[in-house]
Amino acid sequence: MSLGEHLEELRTRLVRSLLAILVAGGFAFWRIRDVMAFMKRPIDVGLADPKAVELIQMKAYGAFLGSMKIAFFTGCVLAAPVVIYQLWAFVAAGLYRHERRVVKYYAFPGLVLFFSGAAMAYFYVLPWSMRFLVGFADGLGVNSKLDFPPYISMVAFMMLAFGMIFQLPMIMIFLMRLGVVEPDTFRRYRRHAIVVNFAVAMIMTPPDVVSQCVMALCMTALYEGAILVGTRIAQPRQEQA
C-alpha cells in the first residue's frame, strides 16, 4: 500500500472506532444511574464503612461533567471489541498476505486480555487503593469527601490503563512471531523492562504504593509470559531458517 492508502485506511479505522465509542457512550449516558452505581463499587467494597465517604460536586456543573466522563469512558470500554478489531485490521492492511494470516489469531485474545486487565483494576486494585488512601487520611484525622469528576476519572482511567497494559504480551508475541524481535532480545533487556514497568506504573496509577506495585508486577509477569509463549512460536521458524 502507498502512503496515501495507509492514511486512508487509518482514517477509516479511526472513524469506525469513534462511531462505536459514541454509540456505546450514548447508551451509557442513557443508563447513567446504573453506570454510576457500578463506578461507586470500589468505595462500597474497599471501605469498612462506605457511608463515611461522600461524593460531592465542588462546582455547579460537577455532576453533569462527571456523568459525561462516565459515559465517555464507559463507551471506550464497551466499544473495546470494535476498537481492538479495527486496530489489528489496520496492522494487517500493511502486511504481506502470509503475514495477515497471523493477525486474525490476535484480535480475540487481545480482547480477552483487555477485559481481564480492566476487571483486575475494578475488582481488586481500585478497592485496595481506596482502602489505602482513605485509611491514610483517617489515620491523620481527615474526613474524606471526594470530588465527583476526579473520582470518576480515576476509576475509568485505571480500568483503561490496566486493559491496555494487558495488551503487552500480544504485541510482544506478534513481533516474535513475525521475527521482528527475537525472544533472546527480550530476555537480554529483562532488567531494563522491569525498571520501565515500575516507571510506567508510577505515571499511570494514583500516588499509592498498592496500585503502582500491582501494575508493575502485572506488567513484569506479562512480559515473562510473553517470552515463554513467543519462544515456542519462534522455535519452528528458527529451525526452518
Spatial separation of the C-alpha atoms in residues 71 and 59, rounded to whole Å = 19
| pLDDT (average), residues 79-108 | 72
Predicted confidence band at 221 (pLDDT cuts at 50, 70, 90)?
Answer: very high
Average pLDDT over residues 12-37: 89
**pTM for this entry:** 0.78
Q: Where are the domains of the chain?
A: 3-166
Distances in Å between the Cα of 172 and the Cα atoms of 120, 141, 182, 186 are: 21, 47, 10, 9
The residues, ordered by sequence, that sit 6+ positions from 24 with a Cβ below 8 Å of its Cβ are 74, 75, 76, 77, 78, 79
Residue 89 has pLDDT above 80, yes or no: no
* Cα separations in angstroms, 16 against 79, 210, 237: 10, 37, 35
